Chain A
Amino acid sequence: MNNLTSSSSPDSNHRSTSLPAWMRDAGPASGPAWRSGVRSKNSAVQRTIEGLAAALITGVFSEKIASRPGRLQKMDPRAKTVSLLGLLLIAALVRQPLVLLALYAVTLAAARASLVSLRFFIKRVWLFIPIFAGLIVLPSIFNVVKAGDPLITIWNFGHEVRLGPWSLGSSIAITKQGLTGASILILRVAVSVSLTVLLAITTRWSDLLKALRVFFAPRIFILILSMTYRYIFLLLDIAAEMFTARRSRMAGPASAREDRRFAAASMGTLLGKSHALSEEVYAAMISRGYRGEALTLSKFHMRRPDWLLALAAAATGAAAIGADRLLG
């Protein structure tokens, strides 16, 4: 079964979005003017185009994985949503780094069983959020920032060192509490992001939205969510076109002032377009018989494997809580 795991890297097969590759590359093809200025590579226009393209790619690529015949994809969206969100809550409650590590292993196994390439999964999860959490939490492992029992003493002054009104104490050390706290935070963030990503990439968004009904989300809310999701991609496209058009009209780097004006003017234009669009969509809905009540087709059926998954998730949760109590 694992042989089916996609070996092709995600980078090679998700370029089929609206933006051609040359627009996203900051290579020489993007024109000499862009390479001369100091800001050329990091221009705000360029970065916005890249960000918008990345969001489009994420959306398209998630749908691609969601249509693979993996373990989680086959599950009833309601069972899957409840199970994964339940585990998310458990991951928020436990206090032992080891238990969090075990939960992380469970998410990796689930990803593998769902035909998600582990390389892609780990990259998608760890890039930015947990690594960022690690950077944020780093200072807190030192006794200078947060008090605790010294574990590894890095520098011993031998006397109290003062910087004006501040005292740095007599040594710089990594503390036991700081290190444990940091590993708990990073692991907890990683497990949470893993569970969220698993849910997002193994469920078609229309199914996920319908599954939210389980959590008593009002129908109108689901309707708005699904319309929003659909129009995000349209507006992303429009915005990417505006920024690309802007970039192709530029003969040299613009000043930050001009770029700010452009960002604000784009927001204004986009707002005008969005508003006109909503009027048109409303007219289209009315002419198709919409009267303010949203109706959805719901054809979910809980089958044996769905109950088994829910049971497995419940068992994992119970084991995690049990182990947490035992270790603590």
Chain B
Amino acid sequence: MSAPVNAPVSVAGGAPGGAPLLQMQRISKHFGGLQALKDVDLTLQAGELLGIVGDNGAGKSTLIKVLTGVYPPDGGGIVLNGERVRIPNRRASIDLGIDAVYQNLALVDYLTAPQNVYLGNEIKRSVLGIPVLDNAGMRKKAAAILNDRLGVALGDIDQHTFNLSGGQRQAVAIARALIQEKGRILILDEPTAALGPEESRRMLEVVQRLKRKEMGIIMISHQLEHVFELADRIMVLRRGRLAGVRSTAHTTRQEILGLIVGSIADYEADAGAAGAAVTP
């Protein structure tokens, strides 16, 4: 299972070369008087993992919800594989191959893991010409994804997700994003926030494994160490604006922290100064 053609990680350095998988251009969004996002740009390459960090209220989750059609942006555009796209609702983003694991996981407690995995994307089969849910088929495939691809055992797969542990629930949420054949972009919003150290470790391994696929991953996290471990590039948001983007290989934790809290000068205003300011 090695990725043959695309040598993804090499993209990570500096300016992206070929047509990026995704470009979000000058995205703005306000809620009443609150400017949640202001002219934010985002670029994602295939095979790349982009980390997004920032303080609470920096606009990380809002940016993700714009990308997944939950919030329509007030301004700006989205270009997917070189084509300008409109994402008016969640359904549209799913159909474009944009999958997301939200911070609250978006599971339905009183459905089973397979029912949650396929929620909104059910497999159907025809019985006497009537399309009916293929419950057995979905159950089998969901079990395969959970066991084989994510390496998570649920015990009784027919129990309600209500009864599952934090790590198991996280796995179910990620499995949902993996059922799409045409899935091109995977968004992970705080994938380790609800997990203990052991479970976090396993989740990072899972993300690491996903990374080999020909897919772009966006990971939001408060845990800088996790971002440094997995991300090829790190994007910093501050108060709804882009504070800076750094290649993980060429930055330090101090610099990223500086961008997060604003002690390092604005990226766009004075990139040179930002570079100078990092030396500890």
The yes or no verdict on A and B being binding partners is no
Q: Which residues of A contact B (CB under 8 A)?
A: none
Q: Which residues of B contact A (CB under 8 A)?
A: none
